[in-house]
């Protein structure tokens, strides 16, 4: 059972979580509980780091940020003990949960389940802070924002759990973000592929790397509400166990992208590679890409998107390489948002793209860039249009 930040936002809510666990324990289930930091705590710690330095040490950043989860694990364990349930916290280094990769964004490499199983055998509820790990150099690490979901899935796998339940502040996964569109509906069952697309396109209800891990290991996930735990929530499972009667399963949006356009790029072999190599060297992720061929076929414009945080860095780098790449002008725009429709039903239904573009055009929403995969279509629009675009597509595809 994993409880997110809003679910443990204050003492009252932590007591409520303890009651949910106590109730679950009635049938003698062996329970491992993963907790997030209390709502707002991680953001507050990020701000504190910024007030010390713009170049705050990555190693210390992880020590700082992981502390939020540690606080919750102790409060919840003690609350369970208070309710006469045997419980203990187990921090990442005590298990250990070993991670690899860079600080701030590590990945779980291995997890020793022995100590946990030992305590489960003694009938303890084991409470584990999510988001944190320990590197091979024995330094505290964190696994990326929203990472407690990934901690829960990794534990479910290592312990060969019967169920993995993600408790959050909504009743499950909805057809779109219920905060943006009040016509959003709860989805009963969704495939790994679909929620993977939706989460990487902005639906933060499940962190995308946690879905990836669940998909690779066939771990069934139930997303449920902490505030009405009796309700069924959403089940995430493999596509062959779902019957599709809808073309589109959901609509997602994100506003952390920025658009970069190089105007007047020479149309010759090697140019695209010259543009994207330096970005690759700096680990900058490029998402949507379009290239227009000019009428005289001598010059082209290249437009692509990067994460908004990477925009200034990318701009500087490409300006420094202006002579080597050979272009006339560089434009950037960070007031853009990406809106996507996702659905495995798309594979067997023609005309989805037309229907999407037509619906947007009727609302006079201009499309800046388009990208597609087998089960999704994304468009980049001005960020002032994002809410209208989401609502328009939600009703155009009969999800209201
Ligand atoms: P937690 O703190 O429990 O991890 P998050 O805030 O990370 O919770 O994720 C839950 C939130 O995700 C919801 O409150 C909602 O605002 C947002 N969200 C975005 N898209 C969706 C969606 N398609 N379905 C449900 N929630 C969504
Ligand atoms: N507390 C961390 C965050 O806010 C991890 C999590 O909640 O999943 O990103
Ligand atoms: Mg989350």
Q: For all residues of the chain together, what is the average pLDDT?
A: 95
Average of pLDDT values for 204-209?
96
Q: Is 169 touching ligand 1 by the criterion CB < 6 Å?
A: yes
Q: pLDDT higher for 350 or 34?
A: 34
Q: What tens digit of pLDDT does each residue of 55-100 get?
A: 999 999 999 999 999 999 999 999 999 999 999 999 999 999 999 9
Q: Which of 68, 138, 132, 69 is CA-nearest to residue 104?
A: 132
Which residues, 6 or more positions from 136, have their beta carbon under 8 angstroms from its beta carbon? 98, 100, 109
Ligand 2 centroid–CA 74 distance in Å is 17
Q: Which atom of ligand 2 is nearest to the CA of 69?
A: 1
- Ligand 1 atom 10 nearest Cα: 205
Q: Is 3 touching ligand 2 by the criterion CB < 6 Å?
A: no
Q: Which residues of 43-80 are buried (b: 16+ CB within 10 A; e: fewer)?
A: eebeeeeeeeeeeeeeeebbebbbbbbbebbebbbbbb
Q: Per-residue pLDDT for 147 more than 90? A: yes
Q: What does the alpha-carbon distance between residue 193 and residue 215 come to, in Å, rounded to a whole number?
A: 8
Determine the pLDDT at residue 349. 87
Determine the pLDDT at residue 246. 85
Q: Which sign, positive or negative, has the C-alpha torsion 147, 231, 179, 184?
A: positive
Q: What residues are paired with 330 via a beta bridge?
A: 262
Prior bond to 70 cis, omega within 30? no
Q: Is 205 touching ligand 1 by the criterion CB < 6 Å?
A: yes
Q: Is 73 touching ligand 2 by the criterion CB < 6 Å?
A: no
Considering every ligand atom shown, identify the ligand nearest to the alpha carbon of residue 185 and give its number.
Answer: 1
CATH 3.90.180.10 fits 251-396, yes or no: no
Q: What does the alpha-carbon distance between residue 263 and residue 281 come to, in Å, rounded to a whole number?
A: 23
Q: Is 36 touching ligand 1 by the criterion CB < 6 Å?
A: yes
Q: What does the alpha-carbon distance between residue 355 and residue 353 come to, in Å, rounded to a whole number?
A: 5
Determine the pLDDT at residue 248. 95
Q: Which residues of 5-39 are buried (b: 16+ CB within 10 A; e: fewer)?
A: bbbbbeeebbebbbebbeebbeeeebbbbbbbbbb
Domain ranges of the chain: 2-169, 251-396
- Ligand 1 atom 6 nearest Cα: 205
Q: What does the alpha-carbon distance between residue 104 and residue 140 come to, in Å, rounded to a whole number?
A: 10
Q: Which atom of ligand 1 is nearest to the CA of 6?
A: 2
- Ligand 2 atom 6 nearest Cα: 146
Considering every ligand atom shown, identify the ligand nearest to the alpha carbon of residue 205 and give its number.
Answer: 1
- Ligand 1 atom 12 nearest Cα: 205
Determine the pLDDT at residue 291. 87
> Per the structure block, which two tokens stand in for 140?
């505290």
Determine the pLDDT at residue 242. 86
Considering every ligand atom shown, identify the ligand nearest to the alpha carbon of residue 35 and give its number.
Answer: 2
Q: Is 36 touching ligand 2 by the criterion CB < 6 Å?
A: yes
For tokens 């790397």, the residue is 209
Determine the pLDDT at residue 347. 86
Ligand 1 centroid–CA 335 distance in Å is 23
2-169 fold: Carbamate kinase (3.40.1160)
Neighbours of ion ligand 3 (CB under 5 A): 4, 146
- Ligand 2 atom 8 nearest Cα: 146
Q: Per-residue pLDDT for 293 more than 90? A: no
Q: Is 230 touching ligand 1 by the criterion CB < 6 Å?
A: no
Backbone φ/ψ region at 364: left (φ over 0), alpha (ψ -120 to 50), beta: left
Q: What tens digit of pLDDT does each residue of 303-336 get?
A: 999 999 999 999 999 999 999 999 999 999 999 9
Ligand 3 centroid–CA 146 distance in Å is 4
Ligand 1 centroid–CA 203 distance in Å is 7
Determine the pLDDT at residue 292. 78
Which residues, 6 or more positions from 351, have their beta carbon under 8 angstroms from its beta carbon? none
CB 239 within 8 A of CB 344: yes
CB 152 within 8 A of CB 34: yes
Q: Length of the chain, please?
A: 400
Q: Is 6 touching ligand 1 by the criterion CB < 6 Å?
A: yes
Determine the pLDDT at residue 294. 67
Q: What tens digit of pLDDT does each residue of 226-277 get?
A: 999 999 999 999 988 888 788 999 999 999 999 999 999 988 889 899 999 9
β-pair type (97-100, 107-111): antiparallel
Q: Is 98 touching ligand 1 by the criterion CB < 6 Å?
A: no
Q: What tens digit of pLDDT does each residue of 379-398 get?
A: 999 999 999 999 999 999 99
Task: Tell me the pTM.
Answer: 0.94
Q: What tens digit of pLDDT does each residue of 16-46 get?
A: 999 999 999 999 999 999 999 999 999 999 9
């Amino acid at each position: 059972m994993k409880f997110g930040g809003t679910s443990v936002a204050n003492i009252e809510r932590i007591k409520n979580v303890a009651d949910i666990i106590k109730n679950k324990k009635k049938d003698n289930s062996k329970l491992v509980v993963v907790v997030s930091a209390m709502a707002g705590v991680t953001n507050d710690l990020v701000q504190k780091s910024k007030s010390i330095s713009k170049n705050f040490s990555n190693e210390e950043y992880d020590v700082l940020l992981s502390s939020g989860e540690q606080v919750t694990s102790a409060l919840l364990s003690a609350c369970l003990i208070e309710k006469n349930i045997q419980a203990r916290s187990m921090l990442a280094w005590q298990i250990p949960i070993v991670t690899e990769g860079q600080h701030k964004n590590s990945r779980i490499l291995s997890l020793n389940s022995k100590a946990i199983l030992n305590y489960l055998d003694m009938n303890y509820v084991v409470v584990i802070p999510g988001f944190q790990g320990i590197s091979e150099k024995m330094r505290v690490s964190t696994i990326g924002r929203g990472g407690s979901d990934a901690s829960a899935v990794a534990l479910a796998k290592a312990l060969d759990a019967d169920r993995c339940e993600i408790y959050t502040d909504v009743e499950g996964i909805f057809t779109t973000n219920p905060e943006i569109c009040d016509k959003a509906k709860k989805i009963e069952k969704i495939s790994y592929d679909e929620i993977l697309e939706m989460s990487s396109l902005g639906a933060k209800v499940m962190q995308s790397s946690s879905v990836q891990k669940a998909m690779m290991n066939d771990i069934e996930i139930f997303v449920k509400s902490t505030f009405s735990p009796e309700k069924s929530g959403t089940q995430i499972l493999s596509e062959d166990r779902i019957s599709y009667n809808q073309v589109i399963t959901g609509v997602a949006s994100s506003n952390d992208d920025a658009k970069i356009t190089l105007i007047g790029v020479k149309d010759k072999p090697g140019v695209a590679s010259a543009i994207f190599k330096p970005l690759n060297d700096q680990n900058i992720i490029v998402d949507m890409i379009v290239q227009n061929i000019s009428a005289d076929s001598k010059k082209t414009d290249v437009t692509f998107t990067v994460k908004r945080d990477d925009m200034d860095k990318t701009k500087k780098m490409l300006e420094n390489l202006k002579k080597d790449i050979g272009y006339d002008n560089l434009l950037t725009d960070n007031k853009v948002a990406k809106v996507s429709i996702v659905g495995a039903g798309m594979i067997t239904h023609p005309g989805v793209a037309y229907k999407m573009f037509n619906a947007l055009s009727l609302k006079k929403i201009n499309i800046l860039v388009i990208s597609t995969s087998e089960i999704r279509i994304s468009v980049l629009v001005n960020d002032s249009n994002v809410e209208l675009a989401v609502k328009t597509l939600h009703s155009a595809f009969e999800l209201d």
